[in-house]
């Protein structure tokens, strides 16, 4: 169960819109998010202080070290997140390494899930969003904004492990598909795979209100093949759940699966003519966590370190600048306008208070 108040977007390639200097803009964008995955693991790999039974709740310390411990920082992070460090970092951009002077942070000051996801998709840190309760978000989000733009209607979908997302994204008002938690996916056309996934979700409940990541990812992947949405968000959560439970071994394994999912999703898209060479992938998280043996399990206002996050971008038109260093700190609030900007849309025409896009990742 969530202890604290938890992507991907795809666009169907009509024809490339020209960017500022003639480069094609992506026709598809995928946002894949993992709840509470720390920047420390993303940039440094497994934390040696937590690879033990007492501090990290690790069932098999030797086995976990074989999986994820390497002598160098570069080797450790690649062992944990191979797709991020062999593909995304080589051909795209990665922000959030505070040790390299390229930080990323939330700006809502609360450092937990509902405010983090609201900031991500709405582009503003709204002080009214101050709990994880089931309250419909009054703010316009970028997925809803895109859904209202020509060519996007009916082509926006969200798949989330946490059941709160219909409220976070105000699905009744937005008019977009938001499939969250243990809710079955009831769409046409459907498939035997979707039917089986619906049944497995219903029969496999561990956390209240949050399904296992595998069910969510597999459902989203099947939906892509059947419906080829223009905008898709995939929102996973196991790293946050296992961290709150004090299981660093399961936290690391969930992070590793997240990376595998990102790689599988990217490979699947490159095999489909609708998406090949026309899709930008965004990877990020909703909040950070504390550091060290005492606070790694926690996040929130009382854990200031949990304001620090990370984000990565890969796709056509994204300059291949790799792991960023010595840059101005980027904020979570900038993601909404960046998502729209990648598609040639200006979210700030609808939400003037939204933070500006991250110009470095937009086609030039």
Residues sharing a CB contact under 8 Å with residue 173, sequence separation 6 or more, in sequence order: 136, 144
pLDDT over 70 (residue 317)? yes
What is each CA distance from 139 to 116, 119, 122, 123, 125, in whole angstroms? 13, 10, 6, 9, 10
The answer to whether 346 and 79 are in contact (CB under 8 A) is no
Farthest-apart Cα atoms in the chain, separation: 56
- Tell me the pLDDT tens digit for each residue of 134-155: 999 999 999 999 999 998 899 9
Query: Do 337 and 356 meet the contact criterion of CB atoms below 8 Å apart?
Result: yes
The more confidently predicted of residues 331 and 27 is 331
CA 322 to chain centre: 19
Name the residue ranges covered by the structural domains of the chain: 28-361
Tell me the H-state helices in the chain.
Answer: 39-44, 53-56, 61-68, 73-80, 82-83, 89-91, 113-122, 142-147, 165-168, 171-174, 192-203, 213-227, 238-244, 248-270, 292-295, 334-342
Identify the pLDDT of residue 294: 87
What is the model's pLDDT at position 364?
78
Q: Is the pLDDT confidence value at 105 over 60? A: yes
CA 294 to chain centre: 26
Residue 264: pLDDT over 70: yes
Q: Is a pLDDT exceeding 80 seen at residue 29?
A: yes
Percent of the chain residues topping a pLDDT of 70: 93
Class of the CATH domain delimited by 28-361:
alpha beta
Contact residues for 196 (Cβ-Cβ < 8 A; gap 6+): none
What's the chain's average pLDDT? 93
What's the confidence (pLDDT) of residue 23? 56
Residue 308: C-alpha distances to residues 82, 179, 181, 339, 342 (Å)? 22, 28, 26, 20, 24
What's the pTM? 0.93
d(CA 292, CA 197): 38
> How many residues are there in the chain?
364
What's the average model confidence in pLDDT over 279-296? 95
Give the pLDDT confidence of 231-245 residue by residue, as tens digits.
899 999 999 999 999
Place of tokens 């489909």: 272
Per-residue model confidence (pLDDT) at position 250? 98
Burial status of residue 14 (CB atoms within 10 A of its CB: 0-12, 13-18, 19 or more): exposed
User: Which pLDDT belongs to residue 24?
Assistant: 60
> Out of 8-22, 35-49, 135-149, 180-194, which region has the weakest mean confidence (pLDDT)?
8-22
Which residues make beta-bridge pairs with 233?
31, 158
Closest CA to 338 of 29, 39, 40, 4: 29
């Amino acid at each position: 169960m969530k202890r604290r108040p938890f992507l991907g977007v795809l666009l169907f390639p009509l024809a490339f819109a020209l960017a500022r200097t003639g480069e094609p803009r992506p026709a598809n964008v995928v946002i894949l998010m993992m709840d509470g995955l720390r920047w420390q693991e993303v940039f440094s790999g497994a934390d040696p202080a937590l690879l033990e039974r007492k501090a990290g709740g690790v069932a098999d310390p030797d086995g976990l070290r074989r999986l994820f411990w390497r002598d160098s920082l570069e080797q450790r992070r690649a062992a944990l997140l191979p797709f991020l460090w062999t593909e995304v970092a080589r051909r795209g951009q990665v922000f959030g390494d505070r040790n390299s002077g390229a930080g990323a942070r939330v700006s809502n000051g609360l450092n937990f899930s509902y405010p983090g996801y609201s900031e991500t998709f709405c582009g503003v840190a709204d002080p009214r969003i101050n709990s994880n309760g089931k309250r419909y978000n009054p703010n316009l989000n970028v997925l809803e904004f895109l859904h209202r733009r020509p060519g996007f209607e009916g082509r926006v979908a969200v798949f989330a492990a946490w059941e709160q997302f219909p409220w976070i994204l105000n699905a009744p008002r937005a008019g977009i598909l938001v499939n969250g938690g243990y809710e079955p996916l009831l769409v046409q056309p459907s498939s035997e795979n979707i039917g089986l996934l619906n049944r497995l979700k219903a029969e496999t409940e561990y956390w209240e209100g949050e399904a296992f990541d595998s069910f969510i990812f597999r459902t989203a992947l099947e939906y892509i093949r059947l419906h080829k949405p223009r905008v898709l968000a995939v929102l996973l959560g196991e790293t946050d759940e296992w961290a709150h439970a004090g299981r660093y071994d399961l936290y690391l394994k969930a992070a590793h699966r997240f990376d595998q999912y990102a790689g599988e999703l990217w490979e699947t898209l490159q095999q489909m003519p609708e998406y090949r060479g026309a899709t930008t992938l965004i990877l990020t998280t909703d909040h950070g966590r504390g550091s060290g043996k005492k606070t790694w399990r926690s996040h929130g206002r009382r854990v200031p370190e949990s304001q620090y996050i990370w984000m990565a971008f890969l796709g056509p038109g994204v300059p291949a600048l790799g792991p960023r260093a010595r840059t101005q700190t980027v904020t979570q609030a900038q993601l909404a306008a960046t998502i729209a900007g990648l598609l040639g849309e200006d979210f700030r025409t609808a939400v003037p208070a939204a933070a500006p896009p991250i110009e470095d990742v937009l086609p030039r």
